C-alpha cells in the first residue's frame, strides 16, 4: 500500500487538463471584494472534522480515515492513517505554512499546495499581498482568481441546491491540482475530490462528521511523542 501522505497528494485520475475555472473575460476586482467572497467559507468557531478517504491511481488503491481540527481563522491539525492505524501521519499548519509534520520528510507529499489542502475542507484562502485579482459574480456562481506572475489560484463557489467550492492551482501555467468540495444545504461538508493530472491519480474524501468545539487543548498543536 502506498504511504498515506502520498495518498493525500494524488487525488484524481485526469489525463486531460480541464479548462480554466475563471473566464478570461473576468474583470479586475479589489482585495476587499475577494475577501467578501472568501469570508463565507472561513470557519468562525473551532471544528473537529472526521472523514474517510480512498486513493486510486493506475496501479493501486488504498483507503483509511482521518481527522482535521480547525481553529479560526487558519490553524489546522491534520491526522490521517490507513487500515488499523497503519502509516499514521500528522501535521500542524497555520495559513500557508507547516509548524511541524510527522514524519518530517512527508510535507511535500502531504500538501502539493496549501490552498488545495484548505479547499478540501471547504475553505478558500485570501489573496497574497500584491496579487492581481479578477473575478465575477452571477446568480449563485462566484468565480475569482489570484495571480502572482505566472502562478495562479482560482476558486468557484456556488450556492443554491448544488453548493460547491472548486479550487485550482497552477504554477507557471501548469496545473498542479484541482479540488471539488460539495456541501449540504446548511453548508456542511459532504464530499471532496482532489485531482492531480500529472500522476494521474485521485483522492476521494467522504466527510463523516463536523462537530463544533469550545476550544482545543494546547497539546493538539504539538507533535506526538515518539
Per-residue model confidence as pLDDT tens for the chain (226 residues): 344 444 444 443 344 556 778 988 899 999 999 999 999 999 999 999 999 999 887 788 888 999 999 999 999 999 998 887 788 889 999 999 999 999 876 556 656 789 999 999 999 999 999 999 999 998 899 999 999 999 999 999 999 888 999 999 999 999 999 999 999 988 899 999 999 887 787 889 999 999 987 789 999 999 987 6
Query: Which of 17, 1, 22 is closest to 200 using CA atoms?
Result: 17
pTM: 0.89
DSSP letter for each residue of 169-195: EEETTEEEEEEEEEE-TTS-EEEEEEE
206 vs 188: CA distance, rounded Å: 12
Domain 4-211 fold is: outer membrane lipoprotein receptor (LolB), chain A (2.50.20)
Q: What is the largest CA-CA distance in the chain?
A: 53
Q: Tell me the domain boundaries of the chain.
A: 4-211
Amino acid at each position: 500500500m502506498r504511504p498515506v501522505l502520498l495518498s493525500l497528494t494524488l487525488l484524481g485520475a485526469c489525463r486531460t487538463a480541464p479548462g480554466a475555472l475563471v473566464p478570461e473575460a473576468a474583470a479586475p476586482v479589489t482585495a476587499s471584494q475577494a475577501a467578501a467572497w472568501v469570508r463565507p467559507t472561513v470557519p468562525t468557531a473551532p471544528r473537529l472534522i472526521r472523514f474517510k478517504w480512498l486513493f486510486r491511481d493506475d496501479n493501486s488503491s488504498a483507503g483509511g480515515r482521518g481527522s482535521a481540527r480547525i481553529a479560526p481563522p487558519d490553524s489546522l491539525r491534520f491526522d490521517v492513517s490507513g487500515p488499523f492505524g497503519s502509516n499514521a501521519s500528522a501535521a500542524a499548519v497555520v495559513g500557508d505554512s507547516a509548524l511541524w509534520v510527522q514524519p518530517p520528510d512527508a510535507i511535500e507529499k502531504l500538501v502539493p499546495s496549501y490552498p488545495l489542502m484548505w479547499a478540501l475542507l471547504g475553505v478558500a484562502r485570501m489573496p497574497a499581498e500584491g496579487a492581481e485579482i479578477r473575478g465575477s459574480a452571477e446568480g449563485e456562481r462566484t468565480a475569482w482568481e489570484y495571480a502572482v506572475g505566472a502562478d495562479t489560484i482560482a476558486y468557484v463557489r456556488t450556492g443554491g441546491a448544488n453548493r460547491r467550492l472548486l479550487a485550482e492551482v497552477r504554477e507557471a501555467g501548469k496545473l498542479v491540482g484541482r479540488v471539488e468540495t460539495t456541501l449540504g444545504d446548511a453548508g456542511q461538508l459532504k464530499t471532496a475530490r482532489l485531482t492531480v493530472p500529472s500522476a494521474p491519480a485521485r483522492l476521494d474524501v467522504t466527510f463523516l462528521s463536523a462537530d463544533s468545539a469550545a476550544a482545543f487543548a494546547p497539546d493538539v498543536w504539538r507533535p506526538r511523542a515518539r
